[in-house]
A and B are shown apart, each in its own frame.
Chain A
């Protein structure tokens, strides 16, 4: 089956640090990748849709200068949380979809803790 690798799985860092999260599709080409944020005991909130070679589309209320997304190849998208603060602490999950199938394949998530 389609595998999506997300790295790192956990990050603990000081306030003001920028953190980069990688999302890779290992055995398929992902023209579209999605970035979600999930708070404890809650559902996934879509942050942005990332298409290879073009600018990401951000959901309403998501600061694009705060959450930088790069989708430079068909197998890699990155999310950079710039100048992270404690309120950015959350579980971030990426997913990728193949061109034909509507199902999304998810990474294992990154737990970000800002002290």
Chain B
């Protein structure tokens, strides 16, 4: 079942601005991952944050995790037109044998 809810569903910003996407989940997790999907393509793994971590950085990406609120956020700083894509969070449910449960996704559009 899909447990992740993301907001906003769609986000449109100008190049250079920051983009923040949020994800909520319902069960206990081992880790939470963020993926990117360009239109009509497969998913690309961006970053993984473990349940005992609170924040992680990778280049222009910053991910936070609040297990007490069962939520995570993905921040993309200094966005570029090439960042235009759909972004999905996915949780590794401790009771699901390692299967990933994907959120509904945020469609990000970065205008040049």
Chain A residues within CB distance 8 Å of chain B:
4, 6, 32, 34, 41-46, 49, 91, 93, 95, 97, 102-109, 111
Q: Are A34 and B45 closer than 8 Å at their CB atoms?
A: no
Q: Say yes or no: is B79 at the interface (Cβ < 8 Å to chain A).
A: no
* Distance A107 CA – B41 CA, assembled complex (angstroms): 8
Q: Are B43 and A95 closer than 8 Å at their CB atoms?
A: yes
Q: Say yes or no: is B31 at the interface (Cβ < 8 Å to chain A).
A: yes
**Total residue contacts A-B, CB cutoff 8 A:** 55
Q: Are B42 and A108 closer than 8 Å at their CB atoms?
A: yes
Q: Are A102 and B48 closer than 8 Å at their CB atoms?
A: yes
By DSSP majority rule, is chain B's interface helix, strand, loop, or mixed?
strand
Q: Are B99 and A46 closer than 8 Å at their CB atoms?
A: yes
Residues of A within 8 A of B101 (CB): 46
Q: Are B99 and A34 closer than 8 Å at their CB atoms?
A: yes
Q: Are B42 and A43 closer than 8 Å at their CB atoms?
A: no
Q: Are B45 and A104 closer than 8 Å at their CB atoms?
A: yes
Distance (whole angstroms) from the CB of B13 to the closest CB of chain A = 19
Q: Are B102 and A43 closer than 8 Å at their CB atoms?
A: yes
* Distance A40 CA – B94 CA, assembled complex (angstroms): 29
